[in-house]
Structure 1
Amino acid sequence: MRNRVQPEVERYGAPAQLLHWLTALLVLGVFAVGFYMVGLNVSPLRLRLFSYHKWIGVTVFALALLRLAWRLVAPPPALPATMPAWERQAAAIGHRLLYLLVLAVPLSGWLMSSAKGFQTVYLGVLPIPDALAKNPPLGAALEAVHWGLNKMLLAMVCVHIAAALKHQFIDRDGVLLRMLPRRQRTGSA
C-alpha cells in the first residue's frame, strides 16, 4: 500500500460537526444504558436508568430534528469525485436510514412507554404528554418494535463507522476528515 498524503477536503461546518459528534456520543451512551438496564431486576437503580435512557432518547430525537433542519440550511460538502457512483448511492441510502432510525427509535420508545402507562418526564421536570392511552398488549408489541429498531440502528452505526474507517485508511480520500475539525498548522519560528 502506498503512503499517500490525504487530500485537502471541504469539511462540514462546526455546527454540523458538533451535532454529529454529540449525537454519536449520546447514541453510544443510550445503547450502553439500555443494554445494561434490561438485565437488572426491578430496583431503584433500574428505574433511574430507565429515566436516564428516556432522557437521552428524547435528546437524541431533538438533536436529529435539529440536524435535519441544519442540513437544509447548510448542505453537506460534496463527496470526492473519485468515489464510485455505487458508493455515493450507498452513502446516501445509509445516511437516510441513519436519520430515519435516529428518529424512529426514540419515537418507538416514547410510544412504548405511553402504551405501558409510564409517562416520560424529561430531565425529571418536563412531562411529555403520552402519545397513546395505556394498553399493555400494545406496549408489549411496541417493546418488540423498539428492540428491533435498536438492533437495526446498532447495525447501521457499525456500518457507518466501518465505512468511515475504510475511507480513512484504505481509500485515503478524506471522507472521514470532512467531519473532523481542521487542525491548526503551526509555523516554525
Structure 2
Amino acid sequence: MHPVEHFSLFARVLHWLMAVMILAMLFIGIIMVTTVEPAYHRLVDLHRPLGISILLLAVVRLVNRWLIRVPPLPNTLPPILRLAARLSHIVLYALMIGLPLVGWGMLSAGAYPVVMWPGFVLPPILPHDPALFAALRRLHTWLALILFGVVLVHLAAALMHGLLLRDDVLPSMTGGRGNRTADDSAS
C-alpha cells in the first residue's frame, strides 16, 4: 500500500460544502415549483442567495483548481473513463457557474430583485424583458435538470471508484486511505 495523494483540505471542504449546497438547491427548486404561498416565498428567499453563493464558491473552486495541482487519476483507469472524468468536471463547473448566472439573468429580465439578505440586493444583469424572462426560466429549469443528472452520474462514478474499482479516486476527496499498491500508481 502507499499513501493516497489527497486533494488539498481547502479543495475537499469546498467540494463537500458545495455538494450539500447543490443538493439542497436542487431539492429546494423542486419543492418550490410544487409549493403555494407563503412557503413558496420563503423557499425563493433561500434559493436566490444560495444560488449566488454557489456561483461565488464555484469561481473560487475553479481558481483553486487552476492554481493547485489535483491528484492524478490512476494509471489503471481506461482512457475513455479518464476522458469521461475530465468532461464531466467541465460540465459540472459550467453548470455550477452557468445555472446561477442564468437564474440571476432570469430574475433581472423579470424585474425581480436578487435579495442576498435584507438591505443587500444585487444589481440586475439584464434589462427587463418578459419574453427573455420566459426563455431564461425554461433554460434555468432545463439546466437544473441536467445538473441533477450530472450529479447522479458523478455520485455513481464516485461509488464505482470506491466500491468496484477500489482505487484512490474516492479516498483522495474524502481524506481516506487508498487501496492501490505502489505498482498501480507508477507512471
Asked if these proteins are the same fold (TM beyond 0.5), I'd say yes
The alpha-carbon deviation at position 138 of structure 1 amounts to 1.1
Deviates more, 1:26-35 or 1:118-127: 118-127
Whether the aligned pair in 2 keeps the contact of 1:9 and 1:177 (CA below 8 Å) is yes
**Aligned residue number for residue 100 of structure 1:** 94
**Aligned residue number for residue 112 of structure 1:** 106
**Aligned residue number for residue 3 of structure 1:** none
From 8, 23, 27, the counterpart of 1:13 = 8
Q: Identity across aligned pairs (percent)?
A: 37
Whether the aligned pair in 2 keeps the contact of 1:37 and 1:46 (CA below 8 Å) is yes
For residues 127-148 of structure 1, give each alpha carbon's deviation from its aligned partner in whole angstroms, at most 9, with x where no partner exists.
1100112211111110000000
| Number of positions where the alignment pairs a residue of Structure 1 with one of Structure 2 | 177
**Aligned residue number for residue 37 of structure 1:** 32
For residues 21-61 of structure 1, give each alpha carbon's deviation from its aligned partner in whole angstroms, at most 9, with x where no partner exists.
011000001111111111122x2321121110011100100
Unaligned runs of 5+ residues in structure 1 are 1-5, 184-189
The code of the aligned residue for 1:131 comes to: I
Alignment of 1:53-64 (within 5 A): 53-64=47-58
Equivalents in 2 of 1:67, 1:101: separation in Å? Answer: 13
**Aligned residue number for residue 74 of structure 1:** 68
Q: TM-score if structure 2 supplies the norm length?
A: 0.90
**Aligned residue number for residue 158 of structure 1:** 152
Equivalents in 2 of 1:91, 1:121: separation in Å? Answer: 36
Whether the aligned pair in 2 keeps the contact of 1:7 and 1:173 (CA below 8 Å) is no
For residues 69-128 of structure 1, give each alpha carbon's deviation from its aligned partner in whole angstroms, at most 9, with x where no partner exists.
111221211111111111111100010110001111111110111111101011233211
> What CA RMSD, in Å, does the superposition of the two structures yield over aligned residues?
1.4
Q: TM-score if structure 1 supplies the norm length?
A: 0.89
Equivalents in 2 of 1:98, 1:82: separation in Å? Answer: 24
**Aligned residue number for residue 88 of structure 1:** 82
Give the SS at the match of 1:121. Answer: strand
